[in-house]
Structure 1
Amino acid sequence: MPTTTMNIEELKHKNKDTLDKLDKHAKYVFDFKDRQAEKFFGAMSPKTRSIMTFFFSPEYDYNSATETFDPNDEVEDLQLTHSEIVRKVWSRNQLIMAWCFLIFMSLASTIMSSSFSSYIVYASSEFSQMGALASVQIVQSCIFLIARALCGKLADNFGRFEAMTISVVCLAVGSGLYMGIHNIVTYFAALAFYSVGDIGIQMMYEIFAADTVTLRDRTFFQTITLIANLFTPWVSGPMVAAVLKNSTWQWGMGMWCIIVPGCSLPFLFTLLYFRIKAYRMGLRIRRGDPNRTWFKNTVTGIIRMDLPGLVFLCAGLILFFVPISFCTGTDNWKLGENIAMLTVGTFLLYVVFPLWEFFFTKHPFLKYKLMYNRFVTVPGCIIGLYNMAFAIYHPYFQTWLLLAKGLPQARATNIHMAMFVALTGTTLVFSPLMRWRAKLKSVLTWGTILYFIGMGLTYEFRRPEKPLSTMILAQVFEGVGAGLLVIPVMVYIQVVCKQSDSAAAITIYYFFTSSGTILGNVISAAVYRNHFPKILRETGLFSEKEIQTIFSSIYAGLGYKIGTPQRAAIGASLNTVMRSLLVGPFVLCAIMFCLALTNADINLNVAQRIKRASEQRKMDENEGSTEENGDAGLVVTNSFEEKSAGSSDDKKQVNEKVVQAV
């Protein structure tokens, strides 16, 4: 018996040695580019090497993203990070259960979001405003920008449960309003509530992942919330077609006010349970002085949310960019209402908002000090340019599929979602490789290259004579490139920020995405409004009234049968517009590639170890401060947490190894 046990142990030891050798050899192969880069920089003169290193291989200080503890901080600034509280309160099995509930909720919200993009085409046509599709996207992107900041501040100042609850309620109200709208004004009111709820829920998925998952595994777990994209085309496409056949688009959008809140109840109850459990353990999640009343702490939290700044920014963006999208290429600049909107929007956006943010509020819209960090701004610009390139042509992509390609609604929705399927699948497939390699610079670089290739294929295969399969291939290439950009960039920004700033880091990430989307939609609206009617006139097949009808409603274009000269002219005109819309993204992709080369090659393993070590030191210092000062407002208890194994000497050895790894 002892001999058998010894043989098993020897076999395990041999297998471990073999795996270690394979891992070492594999990493040696993958590090080929790093060795070549060292030779390349080593062959340069010292001055040239320092310049090239600064631009293309900058050094990163891992200690810049560690938690610090200042005993002189105010009471309201002393708190545990949410990730620390999760480790104290939640067990592994409870986290698995919570993630199952979150995935169940994300299935409903993802299917809802994918179906809404199809309903919007018919909703805008209902009010003869198909030409305003990109303008609708501008308004929605502006609301998204504000909603993300608002949700991040809610999550930080009040709690994760409160932020998720408010987001679900807003989505339910917005979806419910869609069922009763009959004009463009009420449509925008419903859009505002829906946008706040939808983007708030998505952002809470990211924040929950940041609280509960290590840096190495974060790419995979943040992608899990999008797993419904893998089968959404086979669900949302037939569903949209069935709803439009048997009911109306209002009901198709409004039914989600029941479905999504119902699917969110298990996750919300889980968050509430552990919120109460942490409170009973004496762990404070919400900022505030425990010596003040609940009402005063709530008022303090509201003040920290910077609501006036959010209102100034949202109103300024909408009033400035929407008139530009409507007026470009027309004489509408002379209209009084457009002049008034541009004037007020310019004043709010470029005068009132900056003055308020830098001189009047103590809690600005964004943590601007984080944006001074090059390793936050550069990847932020990459994801901003990606969203700008995507938003330039995508608002009218499904319209092009329906009119130029003559596809039925279900197939058009499937192709429209092909990119998102590829994006989700790519991130899921490559996340184990990202975890093993623990470096993201090469991932981001390859993402920009593949997205550029996909954009080129979309430009080439948009022609009517090209088979539909080639367009699907182009969308898959775009999705693969996007899959190596969207989530990895978010993780990269979180790595270089402190864990306590995780919500602020995600807010900054979405600030860049929304800014790029807004600019892209402005360009898209301007090109479509300026080119499409003009090209239709040049065909000589339509009267001015017919041109305006086709321009404003998809129903008018679909009314012409496939094969008629009029339908062919509409398809050719839209194809020319798509050609113009796809030129700009080429330049943006080239800039994205250059920016990707300037990122630091950060090691996620080293960053995770150093962050964990700093958090442990902070917790120890907090406990010591509480023991010395008594009940000074910060309550930290370890009664429900298993003590870390090892003595103080062991901890010192761990810290020394971490420093050596850096």
Structure 2
Amino acid sequence: MRFRNRIPRFRTETPAVVDDVRENKPTVDKEAGVTKARTSNGLNDSDTDAISLDAQPGVQKVEAMTKTWSRGHLITAYITIWVIFFVDAMQQGMSSSLTPYVTTSFYAHSLTATTGIMSGLIAGLFKLPLAKILDIWGRPQGFVLMLTSLVIGLIMMAACNGVEMYAAAQVFYWLGYNGITYTISVFIADTSALKNRALMFAFASSPYIITVWVGGPLATAFLNGPGFRWGFGAFAIITPVVCLPLIALFWINYRKAEKAGLIPKRESNRTFSQSVWYYVIEFDLCGLLLITTGLALFLLAFNLPTYQTEGWKAPIIICFFIFGGLLIISFAFFEKYVAPKTFIPYELLMDRTVLGACILSATLFVSFYIWDAFFGSFLQVVNGLSITEASYVTNIYSIGSCFWSLIVGVLIRWSGRFKWLALYFGVPVTILGVGLMITFRQPDVNIGYIVMCQIFIAFSGGTLVICEQMAVMAVTSHQYIAVVLAIESMFSSVGGAVGLTVASAIWNGVFPVRLAEYLPAEEMPNIADIYSKLTTQLSYPIGSPTRDAINQAYGDAQKYMLIAATVVQVISLASVIVWRDIKVSDFKQVKGVVV
């Protein structure tokens, strides 16, 4: 890959609709099937190498930065990004391995999936206002904000004294973690040509190939040594240190662009109260509160029945369903008829390629989190693996998808297209891998078959994630890159929350019932302890009647989870079919010194 300082000539654009030119709205080129933002003169904003005067301040700043920085700074930035992803991936792998033991320490192993629902949902929904922060205030400001949230989450996890505080810490942690990776993804999109972008995304994710071997042993070392609290506390110090070089690089080059006069000066002339109201409208605060609260109530309703004496008939469950549904409906009406600025740009979202990619993203995460929620515990209890060995199996997806995405990036650069990879390889192989696990993820089945399925899902997943990101970016201009990536990521996070909800509902509905059915009579007084604590499940010797009963209950619950995960994948096929077959090498989006 060579770094270059010039942008090839753009192809001739079709004339813009007069009203869309006047209002600077994104429009869809019907011939090319590509959404483009046009400036007031009717030309695409990438037709000239000048700073986009009609773009938002954050976009202008990053365009100015890429015009002033050197190739050496660009290379340094990508090396720093790789290091940040390496540390974050290592820390995230360790955290995932520690979570069952954290919840178990508070006698709440069954809440392993539940603790991630709110954090995943909020982290995903926050990316839309974060996209506004990046576009209005700037990329480094958003990056620092997300880094602060990550550190707060790690400190809270290190100091937690109950599952409630741990769940709250997860919100801050995942908000920061997802925010950092999202901000860096936007930065990569800012500094890479469209045809090379898939390869650059794959490069940034490549540390997972290494860290897959580190997370489990690291978690084991902390559990057997200073304890899980120091595991979180150590990374609360390490993470800011490795992020500082990128922040400094941002700041130095922004200052250089500012001194060169490349960034247009803006005077708001607003009072404090006017500024507050301005940002309330810009970030669509009312819409954000409606959709976040509505989805949170609706999804949490699936996880509470087992903790209510009346089960699904409990008043709180009914209230959560009703009020959650009403808030979601209210959000739709608010965005359509009331909001001065919409939460989601409809012109982009309703493009069939963007909408299809977003649905694919949500479907993949629904399916993944259904079968993955209790996978690590299954490997330890049913297959008798250690924490380290279980982490190797669970992380096959990470290492395989990140390795394969490099190949996908090369194939997209070579062919200039991405739809064929998703349609003819990604979706069919995903369905095959998840479907086979219905049979193979059961007691007394050789672990090798599970590993085989994980490899299938890893290669197909690496293909689909890259292709869906390329799909949303290929249909818009640089001005809207942050927004479409936020929309795609929001769908994935909501899908993950739905998947965790379904997984938790199946687990809480099947596992304790089957335990009561299979356990020997003398162990029935211990059923609550067995259900809620992973350490208690592991305390029974392999081959004992009680351990066999626990294994069978695990197998029954996993079977229902995998059936649900396979059925959901049918939506993936339809969502890819509707994509336009766009040739990404025909379009340019970014300016300055880029990859």
Report the TM range for the smaller structure's normalisation.
Answer: 0.7 to 0.9
Deviation at 1:529, TM superposition (A): 0.6
Q: Summarize the alignment of residues 350-499 of structure 1 with structure 2, pairs less than 5 Å apart.
A: 350-351=329-330, 353-445=331-423, 446-499=425-478
- Cα deviation, residue 340, structure 1: 4.1
For 1:561-572, list aligned pairs within 5 A.
561-572=541-552
Of residues 253, 259, 263, the one that matches 1:274 is: 253
* Higher helix proportion (structure 1 or 2): 1
Matched, 1:549 2:529: yes
SS of equivalent to 2:542: coil
Alignment-mate amino acid for residue 170 of structure 1: S
Structure-2 residue corresponding to 1:290: 267
Which of 585-594 and 574-583 deviates more? 585-594
Aligned pairs, how many?
553
Tell me the equivalent position of 2:225: 246
Q: What do the CA deviations read for 1:79-108 (whole angstroms, capped 9, x no partner)?
A: 665663344222222111111111111111
Are positions 1:338 and 2:308 aligned together?
A: no
Tell me how far apart the structure 2 counterparts of residues 458 and 578 of structure 1 sit (CA, whole Å): 9
The residue aligned with 1:33 is: none
Deviations 1:13-32 (A, max 9, x none): xxxxxxxxxxxxxxxxxxxx
Quote the Cα distance in structure 2 between the aligned partners of 1:60 and 1:452. 33
Structure 1 residue matching 2:445: 3-state secondary structure: coil
The corresponding residue for 2:564 is: 584
What is the aligned counterpart of 1:325 among 303, 311, 314?
Answer: 303
Letter paired with 2:435? G
Summarize deviations over 1:610-633 as a string: whole Å, max 9, x none: x57xx8xxxxxxxxxxxxxxxxxx
Q: Is the 8 Å Cα contact of residues 65 and 254 (structure 2) preserved in structure 1?
A: no
| Residues 576-614 of structure 1: CA deviation (Å, up to 9, x unaligned) | 111111112222223322332332211111133xx57xx
Match of 1:596 in 2: 576
Query: Is the Cα–Cα contact under 8 Å of residues 128 and 486 in structure 2 kept in the other structure?
Result: yes
Structure 1 distance, partners of 2:309, 2:90, is 38
Larger Rg: 1
Alignment of 1:169-248 (within 5 A): 169-248=148-227
Distance 1:478 1:179 in 2: 33
The answer to whether the 8 A contact 2:430-2:461 is kept is: yes
1:304 counterpart (277, 282, 287): 282
Change (3 A) 1:537 1:444: same
Equivalent position amino acid for 2:557 in 1: V
Q: 10, 32, 55: which one pairs with 1:62?
A: 32
| Aligned-partner residue type, residue 413 of structure 1 | S
- Would you say the 8 A contact 2:61–2:254 is kept in 1? no
Secondary structure of 1:250's counterpart equals helix
CA distance in structure 2 between the partners assigned to 1:589 and 1:357 by the alignment: 30
- TM-fit CA distance, 1:291: 5.2
Residue segments in structure 1 that go unaligned for 5+ positions in a row: 1-58, 616-640, 643-662
TM-score of the pair, normalised by structure 2: 0.87
Q: Secondary structure at the match of 2:304?
A: helix
Which whole-Å CA distance do the structure 1 matches of 2:472 and 2:177 have between them?
Answer: 23
Greater Cα shift, 476-485 or 377-386: 377-386
| Counterpart residue number, 1:149 | 128
Structure 1 residues 64 and 424: alpha-carbon distance in aligned structure 2, compared to 1, 3 A threshold = closer
State the 1:368 CA deviation. 2.5
User: What is the SS of the residue equivalent to 1:255?
Assistant: helix
Q: Deviations over 1:381-429 (max 9, x none)?
A: 1221111111111111111111111111110111110111000000112
**Which letter maps to 1:461?**
F
Letter in 1 for 2:269: R
CA contact (8 A) 1:366 1:507 kept: no
Gaps in structure 2 of 5+ consecutive residues: 1-28, 46-52
1:202-230 per-residue CA deviation (whole Å, 9 max, x = no partner) reads 10121011100011111111122221211
Match for residue 10 of structure 1? none
Q: Give the Å deviation of 1:138.
A: 1.6
Could you tell me how far apart the structure 1 residues matched to 2:530 and 2:328 are? 35
Letter in 1 for 2:581: D
> Is the 8 Å Cα contact of residues 119 and 253 (structure 1) preserved in structure 2?
no
Distance 1:569 1:291 in 2: 68
Pick from 125, 133, 145: which aligns with 2:104? Answer: 125
| Paired residue secondary structure (1:484) | helix
Q: CA deviation at 1:152?
A: 1.3
Structure 1 range deviating more: 106-115 or 76-85: 76-85
Per-residue displacement from partner, 1:97-145 (whole Å, max 9, x unpaired)? 1111111111111111111111111122222222222222221221122
**Superposition deviation, residue 505 in structure 1:** 0.7
Is contact 2:120–2:171 with CA below 8 Å preserved after alignment? no
1:26-78 Cα shifts (integer Å, max 9, x gaps): xxxxxxxxxxxxxxxxxxxxxxxxxxxxxxxxx963374334111699x9866
1:16 paired residue number: none
| TM-score, with length taken from structure 1 | 0.78
Q: 1:541 to 1:60 in 2, by over 3 A?
A: farther
CA distance in 1, matches of 2:129, 2:78: 24
CA contact (8 A) 2:80 2:246 kept: yes
Letter of the 1:61 counterpart: E
Aligned equivalent of 2:488, options 509, 523, 528: 509
Q: Are 1:90 and 1:274, in contact at CA under 8 Å, matched by a contact in 2?
A: yes
Q: Report how far residue 451 of structure 1 moved.
A: 1.1
Question: In 1, Cα distance between the equivalents of 2:433 and 2:30?
Answer: 32
**How many Å separate the matches in 1 of 2:400 and 2:226?**
31
CA deviations 1:254-273 (Å, max 9, x no partner) are 32111111110101111111
Decide whether the 8 Å contact of 1:387 with 1:517 is kept in 2. Answer: yes
Alpha carbons 2:510, 2:557 under 8 Å: kept: yes
